[in-house]
Amino acid sequence: MALLEVEGLSVAFGGLAALSGVSLAVSAGTVYAIIGPNGAGKTTLLNAVAGYVRPASGRIRIDGRDTTDLAPHAIARQGLRRTFQNGGVWGEMTVLENILVGVDHDAQSGLLGILFGFGRDRRTERRAVAEARAILARAGLAGIEDKRVRDLSFGQQRVIEISRALVSRPRILLLDEPAVGLSESEREELGARLRALAQEGTAVILVEHVVDLVMAVSDRVLVLNSGQVLAEGTPEEVRGDAAVVEAYLGSA
């Protein structure tokens, strides 16, 4: 059974259809990319899966449980995390503090306890800090934990945002254009990290305009056009689809 299932999903804004009958299935341990022209409905699809948009029809299931009508925080408890296209780091906070914001809110000690040392369970606090430092090390950001995020490059800030989503060890990770503003070398590092996450068992769902990155790291690709599924398959199948080339890849 797929870890994430979307069945016949439709979303409308003021009578305008943003998504029409979209279905997909994503297994654990895979990178699943969603591509398409601007306005195709990619971000709307992520928002619906994460609970920020209420579908007009269709169902969403995580590990067989219907999450269609759940609030974002309840969906997050099912092991889903989402990043946003315009970023979401706090410049005045340190790198470590930004990562700790992603600590599971159900933990016995909250963020304040972790940051200021007055939690009911100091062991929980120590584990959270250790995990945050380990995630930063795996992301190549060891040694900058105490720096203000505002002083870092845009590429580093994007990596920090993704790392924050990982501190709670999500089963499903939704990424909205994570390669925006990254250099070629940073994109290569991002691709390697996404593949590593998949190998660790995470289901990575990637919305991205950088087609070369998508084709290099994805197990399957969904192509949206005007809110509808234009094609779905392996990167090779999608790249060779005449309708996809005409609508999107030919002008990308």
How many folded domains does the chain comprise? Answer: 2
Q: Are residues 75 and 101 in the same domain?
A: no
**What CATH number did the domain enclosing 110 receive?**
3.40.50.300
Residue that is last in its domain, among 169, 191, 217:
169
What is the span of the domain harbouring residue 14?
A: 1-79+171-252
Q: Please, are residues 3 and 172 in contact by the beta-carbon 8 Å criterion?
A: yes
Q: Is residue 85 over pLDDT 60?
A: yes
- Do 159 and 195 reside in the same domain of the chain? no
Report residue 132's pLDDT band, with 50, 70 and 90 as the boundaries.
confident
When pLDDT is averaged across residues 227-232 and rounded to a whole number, the result is: 96
Residues 73 and 181 in one domain: yes
Say yes or no: 196 and 243 in one domain.
yes
pTM comes to: 0.87
Q: Are residues 133 and 15 in the same domain?
A: no
Q: Are residues 216 and 228 in the same domain?
A: yes
**Predicted pLDDT of residue 158:** 85
The reply to whether 159 and 186 lie within a common domain is no
Among the three residues 169, 197, 212, which one is the final residue of a domain in this structure? Answer: 169
| Encoded amino acid at 106, one letter | D
Burial class of residue 94 (count of CB atoms within 10 Å of its CB; 0-12, 13-18, 19+) = middle
Same domain? 103 vs 75: no
176 and 154 share one domain: no
Domain end marker among 121, 140, 169: 169
The fraction of the chain above a pLDDT of 90, given in percent, is 60
Within this chain, do residues 185 and 66 fall inside the same structural domain, yes or no? Answer: yes
Specify whether 175 is located in the same domain as 66.
yes
